[in-house]
A and B are shown apart, each in its own frame.
Chain A
Amino acid sequence: MSKLFGTFFSKLTAILGAVALVGGAAGAVRADDISGAGATFPYPIYAKWAEAYKQQTGIGLNYQSIGSGGGIKQIEAGTVTFGASDKPLEPADLKQNGLVQWPMIIGGVVPVVNIPGIKPGELVLDGPTVAAIYLGDITRWNDAAIQKLNPKLSLPKLDIAPVYRSDGSGTNFLFTNYLSKVSPSFSQKIGANTSVQWPVGIGAKGNEGVANQTAQTGGAIGYVEYAYVKQTGMTYARLLNHDGKYVAPEAKAFQAAAANADWAGAEGYYLILTDQAGADSWPITGASFILMHTDSKDRNTLAALKFFDWAYKRGQKMAEDLDYVPLPDKIIKLIQKTWQDSLKVNGTSVWAAS
């Protein structure tokens, strides 16, 4: 009888466990684990940091990469300690929901092409030209506008096949935000968002999808995250930046864009790093943000801040290994000042500057 009961009981716990797993999106998995949810783009580095942090301190981090939209909804509902978003919330939205945000890690978007005979970095493009391609105004690679930027290349009379990200993503947001900044007609006809209505081209799912579709289609142009270009050796194009200089997508170019930005003057760190000034700045750079409640009732708030502090100080090498770009030091100091000023429990600061 007891044996029978035992098997029944173990079955019951297994079922309950499965139910808990399914329902786990909303609740914390373990009481002393820090819980977060949001953007998929920084997931690999957050996961790696979490693993290393757990080994050192015994404190775990449970991060669910459910997408920026989901991250914002979960932190607004207060079901997680922090939310993560690739698109910063506007200061008014932050105030309304009692949230504070700051950048955590930098990434960038790189245009990739598939033109016979063109090697990585040979082709040069500027923002208005890329915008015209995605608007369907430029349809051939030997168009005068592209030829003018590349006087030494012999470009084929090949149709351009624009490829875009079909899934809503921070990559889409950065790309369309940049094109909207440099091309009035792009801003008017398409605009910037995590998903937009593209007038031409074909949509592929995820970085892999865009990369694959671009590699398969002769004459294609696409855009993928920097890490993806670096790891696959795709044919990227160099871009003309805000200062009129040609830049290649490299870690230092992304960092330059972040360093040149006016973080101190941006309310709520609402700053999108596209089209930043500076001779070395890569024009399609962006940060991934963390969102937390200003008046936190979550007892893991301090634990989460300690984790972020650790990630800023010790996690840089790990970020670089995964081809992310760490934030410059002066911005980290600014962020920690924000923690001290804005994050309070019952009116007293959670974070004390060290």
Chain B
Amino acid sequence: MSAITIPYHPQLKREARSEWVFRGLTVASAALVLILLAGVLIALCYGGWPALRTFQFGFLTHEVWNPVTDQFGALAPLYGTVITSLIAMLIAVPLAFGIAVFLTETCPLWLRGPIATCIELLAAVPSIVFGIWGLFVLAPILQHSVQPWVIGTFGDLPWIGKLFRGPPYGIGLMTAGLVLAVMVLPFITSVMREVFLATPSSLKEAAYALGATQWEVVWDVVLSNSRAGIIGGMMLGLGRALGETMAVTFVVGNAHRISTSLLAPGTTISASIANEFTEAVGVLYTSSLIALGLLLFVLTFTIIAAARLLLLQIERRGARV
């Protein structure tokens, strides 16, 4: 800033100008993101308006999705989106935790690099490849070996048995959840690994010196020190799982139905849009699909905002301690 107050030096003047241009560019870049975001939101609201006006609140609560009679409700895709993402998180988070602890604490040094690289490579696999893998490799294995066993073992149990009934199709909500788990695993793992590494070694050494076991160090020192980062990683993974389209479309079964069984086919918001948008004719049909997009936008936005608030709270509490 002080450069501006000495205008008579040409060198400094030039620098001041380039400084100004640089700052302008960064502001413009940041503003562009906001403009794009607002533009997307406005476009989605505008495109989805006919459907929202026609079905009103019923759009969220109705399961029916019938292009023939022009009746559309988003409950089934909404349910499928949430359930598949939940399954993915339930599987991926503990796994990612295990991998991250192994990589930062117990793994021999020479092995850490290769394993970490492999996990990051997993993130580079295109989602269509996961979809094809899910359909042609995972689904037959599930269908012929895993699902018959699951149905036979758990299907007759009271309460939770309802989750594991029906014919073994191989594809369905559970399969989609499994594929999603593999897809979000690298994201959660690498964030967890980073935050674990950021734990000050003096803290860990102090804990060891007090006679803590490795488990106690991980659970009480490392984990409590990196809570915010872990939540951040989980949200990153969840965001990816909610919006994933191609891989899910291949294995979710694409049925606009809600069934209690996790093995039954279902659909997700993004899968419905990908499946039907190209051949959707008629204002209400197209508009309903766009309204689905708006719903996903709001859902993802809410979850990320909630995560931010949670992080803020944790940070504040941490500051107080």
Cα separation A235 to B26 with both chains bound (whole Å)? 62
A197→B279 contact, CB < 8 A: no
Residue count of chain A within 8 Å CB distance of chain B: 34
Q: Are A167 and B279 in contact (CB under 8 A)?
A: yes
Given contacts A202-B172, A204-B254, list 19 more A-B pairs with CB under 8 A. A66-B278, A67-B278, A68-B279, A166-B267, A191-B68, A192-B68, A193-B68, A194-B67, A194-B280, A195-B279, A197-B64, A197-B67, A201-B255, A202-B253, A202-B265, A204-B171, A209-B250, A216-B139, A216-B170
Tell me if A278 counts as interface (CB < 8 A to partner B). no
Q: Which of A66, A196, A201, A205 contacts B67 (CB 8 A)?
A: A196
Q: Is B249 an interface residue (CB 8 A)?
A: yes
Q: Are A217 and B265 neighbours in the complex by a CB distance under 8 Å?
A: no
Please tell me if the beta carbons of B66 and A196 are within 8 angstroms of each other in the complex: yes
Chain B positions within 8 Å of A128 at CB level: none
**Chain A residues with CB below 8 A from B274, complex form:** 167
Known: A166-B254, A167-B276. A197 touches B66 (CB 8 A): yes
* Chain B residues, Cβ within 8 Å of A169: 279
Within 8 A of A (CB), among B257-291: 265, 267, 271, 274-281, 286
Q: Which residues of B contact A202 (CB under 8 A)?
A: 169, 171-172, 253-255, 265
In the bound assembly, the distance between CA atoms of A203 and B276 in angstroms comes to 12
Cβ–Cβ < 8 Å partners of B256 in chain A: 197
Interchain CA distance A193-B275 in the complex, whole Å: 14
Per-position 1/0 for A50-79, Cβ under 8 A of B? 000000000000000011111010000000
**Complex CA–CA separation, A291 to B124 (angstroms):** 42
Given known pairs A72-B281, A202-B255, A217-B169, the reply for A195 and B250 (CB within 8 Å) is no
Task: Annotate A172-210 by CB proximity to B: 1 below 8 A, 0 otherwise.
Answer: 000000000000000000111111111001111100010
Minimum Cβ distance to chain A for residue B282 (Å): 9
With an 8 A cutoff between CB atoms, is B143 at the interface?
A: yes
Query: How near does chain B come to A186, taking the closest CB pair, in angstroms?
Result: 11
Given contacts A166-B254, A195-B67, A196-B66, contact A217 B276 (CB under 8 A): no
Is the contact region of chain B dominated by helix, strand, or loop, or is it mixed?
Answer: loop
List of B residues within 8 angstroms of A168 by Cβ = 67, 275-280
Question: Interface size class for chain B?
Answer: 20 to 34
A193 in contact with B254 (CB, 8 Å):
no
Residue of A nearest to B64 (CB): A197
With A191-B68, A196-B66 in contact, is A212–B276 under 8 Å at CB? no
Asked whether B117 is an interface residue with its Cβ less than 8 Å from the other chain, the reply is no
Could you give 25 example pairs across A and B, Cβ below 8 Å?
A: A40-B278, A69-B278, A69-B281, A87-B281, A161-B169, A166-B249, A166-B267, A166-B271, A167-B274, A167-B278, A168-B275, A169-B279, A190-B68, A193-B68, A195-B276, A196-B66, A196-B67, A197-B66, A198-B255, A202-B171, A203-B254, A209-B135, A212-B136, A216-B139, A216-B170
Asked if B167 contacts A203 (CB within 8 A), the reply is no
B contact set with A: CB distance below 8 Å = 64-69, 135-136, 139-140, 143, 167, 169-172, 249-250, 253-256, 265, 267, 271, 274-281, 286
A201 to B66, CA, bound (A): 16
Query: CA A192 – CA B281 in complex, angstroms?
Result: 13
Contacts of A193 in B (CB 8 A): 67-68
A3 to chain B, nearest CB (A): 23
Check B278–A197 contact: CB distance below 8 A.
no
Residues of B close to A192: CB separation below 8 A: 68
Contact (Cβ within 8 A) B275 A205: yes
Interface string of A142-180 (1 = CB under 8 A from B): 000000000000000001010000111110000000000
The 8 lowest CB-CB distance pairs between A and B, nearest first, are A67-B278, A168-B279, A203-B254, A166-B254, A191-B68, A194-B279, A197-B66, A167-B275
In the bound complex, residues from chain B placing their C-beta under 8 Å from that of A190 are 68
Q: Within the assembled complex, what's the spacing in Å between the Cα atoms of A51 and B141?
A: 42
Q: If the complex has contacts A68-B281, A191-B68, A202-B253, are A216 and B275 also in contact, measured as CB distance less than 8 A?
A: no
Q: Nearest Cβ distance between residue A10 and chain B, in whole angstroms?
A: 23
Question: What residues on A are CB-neighbors of B265 within 8 Å?
Answer: 201-203
| Interface core residue of B140, B167, B286 (most chain A CB under 10 Å) | B167
- B246 to chain A minimum Cβ distance, whole angstroms, is 9
**Across the interface, do B278 and A70 meet the contact criterion of CB distance under 8 Å?**
yes
Hey, which chain A residues are within 8 Å of B267, CB to CB? Answer: 166, 203
Pick the most buried of B64, B65, B68, B143: most chain A CB atoms within 10 A of its CB: B68
- Most chain B CB within 10 A, of A66, A196, A202, is at A202
CA distance A103 to B227 in the complex (A): 63
Q: Which of B135, B170, B171, B275 contacts A195 (CB 8 A)?
A: B275
The answer for the CA separation of A192 and B68 in the assembled complex, in Å, is: 6
Tell me, yes or no, whether A213 is within 8 Å of chain B by CB: yes
What residues of chain B lie closer than 8 Å to A196, measured between beta carbons? 66-68
Q: Distance (Å) between the CB of A224 and the closest chain B CB?
A: 16
The 8 Å CB contact of A212, one of B64, B68, B135, B278, is: B135
